[in-house]
Structure formats: structure tokens, C-alpha cells
Structure 1
Amino acid sequence: MVSIYDIAKAAGMSAATVSRALADNDKISRSSRDRIQRIAEEMGYRPNLLARNFRQKSSSMIGLITDDVSDELSGMIAKGVEQALRESGFSMLVWNVHHDSENEQSAIDYFADMQMDGVILADSTLDALAEVPTTKLPFVLINRYSSAEEPVSIVCTDDFAGGLDATDYLIKLNHRKIAYINGPEDWYSSIRRLNGYTEALNQHHIPFRSEYVKHGDWFEDSGYRLALELFRSEDPPTAVFAANDMMAIGIIDAARECGLRVPEDVSVMGYDDRTIARYARPRLTTISLPMLEVGFIAGKVLCEMITTGHMPEGKTAKQLVRGNVIERETTAPLKG
């Protein structure tokens, strides 16, 4: 590997002069800089970026902390962040924390040691209102909220609007007996989607029925199991809204087991618009979760914070991104 000492020997100059020339320091004459840089290129020199980062206390890189980038939704966030960073001249390093708060703090500490310019926290380790992990780096939260006193920048999907839009859509198909299979009760996204569901019922003067609300765990089996309870009850719903697509797939399976046709006998609606929603049979009506846009906005916000040095002042800056109803084949107007 070619070093600055090799270049210095070839150029007949000191290593210090070569180092300054390669950094394009204007204390070295333009002609000397051009000559040294030409020699370095001819010799195939590659700079030690890590060492440069420590000298300059900057890396033009940000750290993205996520649960698991191989997950479809986390992957869309990463793609959006990467696009925003590329447009602003930054690069990205990803750390998967797998729902582990200690792993999250280790990632933040590592990014600080590596002189990263900022951090985006897109994991759900602290899903509800929570203290932000300790960091002196500029940071942006994605789909997380903080009870910390200091102001922070947050970019979130509008879960309240999503719950409202999904329920309103089913009501406009003449459904009045609409059940809701939610995620875990203590997840902030679950709380907001449930609030949206309740608000839509209120707006249309439909009584809220507690027996129509169940709490699952985001996976197909919980949607299947809870839907069986609903379909076998004395007054089963004519439509079921699930807080994510995976539970909605379980609901469709439960409907088949109970001899119900989707959507002729019961309408089913999901949330997320994962790839599986397009390939399920029948194809799943759902609410889109605009994670690509969320990631892009978060990346832009962080880049602006880094380049301008302006941090949130006075209060938390929150941006909400609203999804859309994606109409497919699992919903239909109620007959009669």
C-alpha cells in the first residue's frame, strides 16, 4: 500500500508537505499541490479516510440505527435516507439493533467515536414516549417520540390519520359493525391508530364497541386467532380492520375457516402496504405506510442540521407523513 512517505520520496519533499498538499492546503503552492497530487494518482495512493476523519473531526457520514434493515419497512427507510444523503454529499453506515436498547446505545457510542456527523434513530426499541439515548451528535428520530426536555427533530407516519382513513373507508362502504385488531397496547403506533379508528366511528355517530377491539402482536397468527373469536361471536362484524398487513393475512385465513367469503361476506383491511398485500389472494386493501418518504425527509432534515449548525430550538419539531388508502380486492360494499 502506497503511503505519503512513498509519495514524499518520489516528489523529493517532506511528508508534512505531501500531507498538506493532498489535503489541498492553500499554504502549499498550487503548482506543488498539482505535482504531488499527480504523483499520488500515478502511484495509486488511497487516503486513509478514517485517519482524516479524526483530524478533521468530520466524516461526511451519518449513522442509521434500525431494528433490521432486511425487514421490508426498515429497508424502505434506509433507501429514502440514502437517497437524501447522496443528494447532499453524505454517506451512511447502518447498524441493526434487533430491538435491544443496550445495542442501540452501543451503536450511538460507536458512531460518536468514528466522528460521524449525525445519527438517525429509526428503530422501535423505545417505541412509546421515552428518553432519547445519550448522544452529543445531531440526530433525528423516525417514528419515535421523546419525553426528554430538550427539543428534538422527529419524522413520523401519521398513524392517527391512517386509522381514521381506513375506518372511514369501510364506513363509506356501508359497514357499521367494524372490528379492529390492533398491535400491542403499549406501542405508540397502536395507540394512535386506535384513536383514529375511534374518531372515525365518532364522526359517523357509530357507537364504539369494546368487544370489537382486540390486541395482537403484529404477526399472522394473532390476526388469525383473534379473528376466529370475532367471527364466532354472537354478533360478528361485517368488516375487520387490522393494524398491519401480516395480521390481516391471518384474518383472511380465519374467515375461510369459518366459511366466510372475502369480501362478499366480510371485508378485510390491512395497514402498511407490504409486498405481500399485492400478492395475497384476494389482494389486500390496505393503508400505505410511506417509509421511503419518511426516510428521505429525515435524511434531508439531518443534513440541514449538520450543514447549517441549526438545531431544534424551543420545542420539538415534528413532521407527519400521511399514507393513502390502497384499494384492492378484500373490501366491498355491504349488501342490503
Structure 2
Amino acid sequence: MDNNHHKKLKKRATLIDVARLSGVSTGTISRILNNHPSVSEEARRKVEEAIKKLNYVPLSAARSLAKGVSNTIMLSIIEENPILPSTWRYELPVVQGIYDYLKKTSYNLQIGIGFVEEAQKSKFFENLIKDKYIDGLLILGSWPINYRSLLYLEDRNIPYVLIGCKSNIPTRVEINFDNHGAIVQVIDYLVQLGHTKFALIGGFADQLHMVDRANGFRDALIKRNLKIYENLIKFGDYQIESGYQLMLGLFNENPRPTAIICGNDFMAAGVIKAIHDKGYKVPEDISVVGFDDNEVAKVISPPLTTIRVPVFEMGSLAVEKLCTMVQSNRKLEEITILPCETIIRSSTGKCKGK
């Protein structure tokens, strides 16, 4: 190698170089790099400008990149647009499970949010992770994902785990909960109370979780040789007002149901209000069941019989599986369906109607 080539090689910028250019002490720069709040905006601006000009990479990050690892796990959350409050109630415990697990490791968590319409595109994950250094990807959602978009991850050997969503790709890890079985279980319970006329007031009809629940609803009634009243199956948007309006509409249908399964606890709250506004009682006239077991279920009157979903456990198990794949550098092929639990409260009772 000749001397001219030596001259062309650039020395990697150091923390001291950043300090000299920015006029900020190395201690303050360290606090800025660690996102410490007690730093002035002026100092932060000077340091960021110096880092950009020098192409400075912290030593720990440089070592990680040299080893081909980043110690970063990315969580991609696929949402409706606009994001619904009820969706956050479901997703936040999943994120908590992920975060609590990663606290015990050396991994950092990076979160990206995309909307359903974007996730349908073939380059969704390519656009999401380009120019990012990640060791693996967690995908949280309840909507179909573009097959080609997942193939991008497969082709580049980027380990990923699906949480709440599904794929036909055989080499995948999927963590879900038993939507179908949960509905079958709660209908079996209601049949034991004497109910025979059931209604379903669900969320988005094409959402994966709701599709499974609607199938479970029909399968449970078929198993019990009970009639399926298609006019008593309605879909909304998981919000309280949606449940309220759909329930008002059911009073115009025949027969009047004696038990109603709702898409979530928010819809159930709207259903109960509509029943009360029409002069009927819960559960004396109509039994109501929710889904999720969030804080609403315990405070409405009467307290809501509902289905508890193991959301925290889903997050914890998913990130554990992902870390196993990252550390072992091998793929897993697993589909785990976690059971739900029926929580019986005062909104369900013995059927008195015929």
C-alpha cells in the first residue's frame, strides 16, 4: 500500500473531536448521547451538528456494527387509521410484556407504527427497516400482511415473530390467542344458563381476530344444534357508540336475542346502555358478554362478564422466541395459540325469555 493511499484514509472521529468542534465538554456530550434530560437545547444542537459533520459513530455502536449485530429489536405495530383508543388498550400490555423481558437483556427496543393500508403493500417492511440496524423484528397487529413484504425479511434472513397476525409462510413464528375457542367456551357457558337465541355485535368484520370470533360464534351454535340468526350478527368499529347504535338496531329485529356476545368491552358498554335506555334490564332480560377484560368491564353496571386475553404473556413469549432466534442464528417454525379465560361477573344470568 503506497503513502498516497495512506493519506486518503480517514481517521474515525472520536468523542474529543466532537468536543473540539462543538465547544461542548465530553461529559455533556455523553449525557446527550444517552438522552439525558438535563442538557440545554443549545448544547444539544451544537453536538448534533458536530456529529453530523464528522460522521461520528459512538464506539459501542461501531463495535456492534463490526460484529454484524446492533443489539436492537424493532417492534412494528400495524394500526387502523385513525388509531382507536380500544386498540391501544389491547396493544399496550403486549408492549409492556416485550419491554419487561428486554430490560433483563442487552437489547434496545425500537418502535415503528404503520397503518393497515401501508401493510398491504409489497415493500412495507423493506421501507420500514431500510437504513436501520436491527437484529430482529416483532410484528404486532390483527390485520392481513402482504405476503411479498414478509418474503423480503425471509430473503434477507431477518428473524421475525408475528404477534396477533397470521401468515401462510411456513418458516415463521406466530404468537396468538384463541379467539375461536374463547367464543365457543362462553357460548357453552350461556347455553348452560338456558340461552338459545344469540346475537353477535362485533368489531371490524375483516379483522383477523373478528373473523375468528365470528367463525367461533357460528361453530358453537352449530355444535349445540342452535339456529344461527344472520340478522342478529352485526359489525361495527369496537367503540362504545358503535355498540350502542347496533344494539338499538337489534330491537327492530326478530327474534329478540337473550344473550349478546360483543367484540370488546367498549362495545359491550354501549350495548348495556342501549338495553337500559329501552327499558330492559341486564341480565334479567338480556345477558351481555364483552371481550378483553379491560378496566371498563369492572366499573360499568352491572359488572361485565368478559373474556380475558393473555396480552402481556403474548408480548413476553414473542420477544423470548425472537431473542432465541437471534442468538442461535437459526429459524424456528412455531405457532403458539394461548388460551383465553372467561371471567364471570353480573352481566350474565339464567335465561327467562322464550
TM-score, length-scaled by structure 2: 0.74
Alignment counterpart, residue 128 of structure 1, candidates 141, 144, 153: 144
**Structure 2 residue aligned with 1:275:** 295
Q: Which runs of 5+ in 1 are unaligned?
A: 7-45
Q: Kindly tell me: are residues 162 and 118 of structure 1, through their superposed partners in 2, closer, same or farther at Cα, counting changes over 3 Å?
A: same
Letter in 2 for 1:87: K
Alignment counterpart, residue 66 of structure 2, candidates 43, 55, 58: 55
State whether residues 232 and 253 of structure 2, in contact with CA within 8 Å, keep that contact through their aligned partners in structure 1. no
**Structure 2 residue aligned with 1:41:** none
When the two chains are superposed, the root-mean-square deviation of aligned CA atoms in Å is 2.6
Deviations 1:236-265 (A, max 9, x none): 011111121121111111101211111111
Letter in 1 for 2:316: F
CA deviation after TM superposition for structure 1 residue 87, in Å: 3.4
Secondary structure, counterpart of 1:87 in structure 2: coil
Alignment counterpart, residue 284 of structure 1, candidates 304, 317, 325: 304
**Structure 2 residue aligned with 1:97:** 114
With 108-117 and 202-211 compared, the bigger mean Cα shift is at 108-117
Q: Superposition pairs for residues 255-270 of structure 1, below 5 Å?
A: 255-270=275-290
Q: Kindly tell me: are residues 202 and 100 of structure 1, through their superposed partners in 2, closer, same or farther at Cα, counting changes over 3 Å?
A: closer
Deviations 1:289-312 (A, max 9, x none): 111011111011101111111203
Letter in 2 for 1:175: H
Alignment counterpart, residue 301 of structure 1, candidates 289, 312, 321: 321
Q: Kindly tell me: are residues 278 and 108 of structure 1, through their superposed partners in 2, closer, same or farther at Cα, counting changes over 3 Å?
A: farther
Q: Kindly tell me: are residues 47 and 102 of structure 1, through their superposed partners in 2, closer, same or farther at Cα, counting changes over 3 Å?
A: same
Q: Superposition pairs for residues 44-193 of structure 1, below 5 Å?
A: 47-67=58-78, 71-101=88-118, 109=127, 111=129, 113-124=131-142, 127-128=143-144, 130-131=146-147, 133=149, 134-135=152-153, 136=156, 137-148=158-169, 151-193=171-213
How many Å separate the matches in 2 of 1:271 and 1:122? 19
How many Å separate the matches in 2 of 1:53 and 1:108? 22
Letter in 2 for 1:128: P
CA deviation after TM superposition for structure 1 residue 211, in Å: 1.7
With 214-223 and 91-100 compared, the bigger mean Cα shift is at 91-100
Q: Kindly tell me: are residues 4 and 217 of structure 1, through their superposed partners in 2, closer, same or farther at Cα, counting changes over 3 Å?
A: closer
Deviations 1:164-202 (A, max 9, x none): 122122112211111111222222211111121122212
How many Å separate the matches in 1 of 2:252 and 2:119? 43
How many Å separate the matches in 2 of 1:174 and 1:206? 12
Q: Kindly tell me: are residues 331 and 108 of structure 1, through their superposed partners in 2, closer, same or farther at Cα, counting changes over 3 Å?
A: farther
**Structure 1 residue aligned with 2:344:** 327
Q: Kindly tell me: are residues 100 and 86 of structure 1, through their superposed partners in 2, closer, same or farther at Cα, counting changes over 3 Å?
A: farther
Secondary structure, counterpart of 1:97 in structure 2: strand
Deviations 1:213-239 (A, max 9, x none): 112222222211221122233420111
Secondary structure, counterpart of 1:113 in structure 2: coil
How many Å separate the matches in 1 of 2:146 and 2:119? 15
CA deviation after TM superposition for structure 1 residue 54, in Å: 2.5
Letter in 2 for 1:319: T
Letter in 2 for 1:195: N
Q: Which runs of 5+ in 2 are unaligned?
A: 1-12, 18-56
Residue 238 of structure 2 is aligned to residue 227 of structure 1: no
* Aligned residues with identical type, % of pairs: 28
Deviations 1:5-26 (A, max 9, x none): 68xxxxxxxxxxxxxxxxxxxx
**Structure 2 residue aligned with 1:17:** none
**Structure 2 residue aligned with 1:251:** 271
Letter in 2 for 1:53: S
State whether residues 130 and 147 of structure 1, in contact with CA within 8 Å, keep that contact through their aligned partners in structure 2. no
How many Å separate the matches in 2 of 1:158 and 1:108? 30
**Structure 2 residue aligned with 1:23:** none
TM-score, length-scaled by structure 1: 0.78
State whether residues 128 and 186 of structure 1, in contact with CA within 8 Å, keep that contact through their aligned partners in structure 2. no
CA deviation after TM superposition for structure 1 residue 145, in Å: 1.0
Secondary structure, counterpart of 2:104 in structure 1: helix
State whether residues 265 and 292 of structure 2, in contact with CA within 8 Å, keep that contact through their aligned partners in structure 1. yes
Q: Kindly tell me: are residues 246 and 169 of structure 1, through their superposed partners in 2, closer, same or farther at Cα, counting changes over 3 Å?
A: same
